[in-house]
Amino acid sequence: MSTTSLAFLASYGLSMLGNAVAAVVLPLIVLHSTGDATDAGILAAATAVPAVLAGLFMGGVIDRVHRRSASIATDLVSAAAIAALPIVDLVTDLTLGWFVLLGIVGSFGDVPGLTAREALLPQVARHAGVGVDRLVAQRELVGAVVLLAGPAAAAGLVVLLDGSGALWVTAATSFAAAMLTLLLPRRVGALDADATPVGSSPRAAVAHLREGWSLLFRRSPFLLSTTLVSLLLAVVLTAIQGLILPVHFIRLGQEGRLGMVLSALALGLLLGAGLYAAIGDHLTRRRWFAAGMVGSVGGVALVSALPATAPMLAGAVTLGVSIGVVGTVTGVLMTERIPDHLRGRVTGTQNAVMTAAPSLGVLGAAVMVERVSLGTAGAVVAGVWALTAALALVAPPLRDLEPAPTDAPGR
């Protein structure tokens, strides 16, 4: 593996690890500092909106600046926002207002940082001399490892260190991610010399953003189809992970088994991404995609039926493997088929939508559990995903998934 791709993957992993740890540690610190459980919900809601807006509008900025520099800057913003919390705690009381203010600042680093790193990927692949398929699979593999290890790392930090100490470690991971990105050659991330210059007026900036949104929502049936599939998958997964499974295990008085199931899901993601990285070129992308979608239907159905622990673990692994494969295939295709000069705007919009999706899944499942029953909620979630998978398998834009030129926006 080349130094360039290694630095890129390590930076991606550290940035994700920081976000994963913060997602666990911050609510605990809020509860410890304010003593009010509703404050954790207020913090999540208050930071979700700016995160979505940052994803929507900062993608246009990333398409106008050096992407390596943008990735470094966003990681530094994330590090500074987290590091400011223990500093404030040393000086004054760490109230909810401080959490919200610094959470909003951090939102301008998190989603835009993910967008900047995705925009860098094709150039990293070219410079490192590796195929986009392999680099995307390796990235998904790193993401799966972080998903598996992140909660455990957060729990360990909470036990070993107080809240401030855990936040310093979290900030350090984002800072280290920025330093690793700095190791990439300067020419990686440079804008195309032939790119059309963009005016500085508000009207020019809006037109600049509209061009990317037009590709995603009007001109490319493929990108719209894959975005919708990814969105619905995110809604289904968060409904299962964020509400259906927790409620099920709490009612059984077996809260500890929730971690086992989520770990099995993460292990499946790791296996799925690793499988594609190892033998991805042995089958066509269409076959990988079809196998992943069919397997995911089975996995969702089994987990949502809330069976005994052993079959639920099997279902979680099956689901993880399947969505690991689907995520890698669609990630490769979107990397290939988004024109480079629009990459920040398109991926920024996709990331913004994915940021808002979890709340929809949890809210919908909560309403069904309260108004009907837990079993019905699981059945509806499984039905929604089965219908989504069936439509995806017959949708014309998702039939031809083999390599295509990046300048074919209408595919």
As a dihedral over the C-alpha atoms of residue 398, residue 350, residue 112, residue 329, rounded to 10 degrees, the angle is -20
From CA 358, how far away is CA 238, in angstroms rounded?
Answer: 5
Q: Quote the percentage of the chain above a pLDDT of 70.
A: 89
- Average pLDDT on 268-294 reads 90
From CA 392, how far away is CA 289, in angstroms rounded?
Answer: 10
From CA 261, how far away is CA 396, in angstroms rounded?
Answer: 35
- pLDDT tens-digit readout, 105-148: 888 888 888 888 888 998 999 988 888 888 988 888 888 888 77
As annotated, the residues of the chain forming the CATH 1.20.1250.20 domain(s) are: 1-186, 209-404
Residue 94 confidence (pLDDT) above 70: yes
From CA 144, how far away is CA 132, in angstroms rounded?
Answer: 18
From CA 106, how far away is CA 166, in angstroms rounded?
Answer: 17
From CA 166, how far away is CA 372, in angstroms rounded?
Answer: 40
Q: Residue 238's pLDDT is what?
A: 82
Strand, coil or helix: what is 400?
coil
**Residue whose entry in the numeric block shows the structure tokens 């976000």:** 19
Task: Check residues 274 and 40 and name the one with the higher pLDDT.
Answer: 274
Strand, coil or helix: what is 231?
helix
- Average pLDDT on 214-234 reads 87
Residue 204 confidence (pLDDT) above 70: no
Quote the tokens at residue 344. Answer: 């920040």
From CA 164, how far away is CA 82, in angstroms rounded?
Answer: 10
Of 68, 55, 181, residue with least CA distance to 108? 55
Task: Check residues 127 and 48 and name the one with the higher pLDDT.
Answer: 127
153-167, 173-187, 199-213, 349-363: range with lowest mean pLDDT: 199-213
CA 107 to chain centre: 14
Phi, psi of 402 (to 5 degrees): -80, 165
Which homologous superfamily is 1-186 in? MFS general substrate transporter like domains (1.20.1250.20)
Would you report the helix, strand and coil content of the chain in percent, each value rounded to 5? 85, 0, 15
Q: Residue 382's pLDDT is what?
A: 94
From CA 55, how far away is CA 354, in angstroms rounded?
Answer: 10
CB-based burial of residue 329 (10 Å sphere; 0-12 exposed, 13-18 middle, 19+ buried)?
buried
Q: Residue 375's CB: how many other CB atoms inside 10 A?
A: 15
Task: Check residues 135 and 208 and name the one with the higher pLDDT.
Answer: 135
- pLDDT tens-digit readout, 358-376: 767 777 888 888 888 888 9
- Average pLDDT on 24-51 reads 72
Q: Residue 404's pLDDT is what?
A: 56
Quote the tokens at residue 263. Answer: 């770990």
**Secondary-structure class of domain 209-404 per CATH:** mainly alpha
From CA 32, how far away is CA 311, in angstroms rounded?
Answer: 37
Check: CB of residue 376 under 8 Å from CB of residue 306. no
Residue 15 contacts by C-beta under 8 Å, 6 or more apart in sequence? 75, 78, 113, 114, 117, 173, 174, 177
Q: How confident is the model at residue 200 (pLDDT cuts 50, 70, 90)?
A: low
Quote the tokens at residue 273. Answer: 């991404």
From CA 188, how far away is CA 124, in angstroms rounded?
Answer: 6
Check: CB of residue 173 under 8 Å from CB of residue 21. yes
Question: Rounded mean pLDDT of the chain?
Answer: 83
Check: CB of residue 289 under 8 Å from CB of residue 102. no
User: Model-level pTM?
Assistant: 0.77
From CA 15, how far away is CA 175, in angstroms rounded?
Answer: 8
21-30, 183-192, 402-411: range with lowest mean pLDDT: 402-411
Q: Cα–Cα–Cα angle for 174, 178, 179, nearest 5°?
A: 115
From CA 74, how far away is CA 12, in angstroms rounded?
Answer: 12
Residue 335 contacts by C-beta under 8 Å, 6 or more apart in sequence? 118, 121, 122, 132, 136
From CA 355, how far away is CA 353, in angstroms rounded?
Answer: 5
Listing DSSP states for 94-127 in one string gives: --HHHHHHHHHHHHHHHHHHHHHHHHHHHHHHHH
Listing DSSP states for 317-381 in one string gives: HHHHHHHHHHHHHHHHHHHHHS-GGGHHHHHHHHHHHHHHHHHHHHHHHHHHHHHT-HHHHHHHH
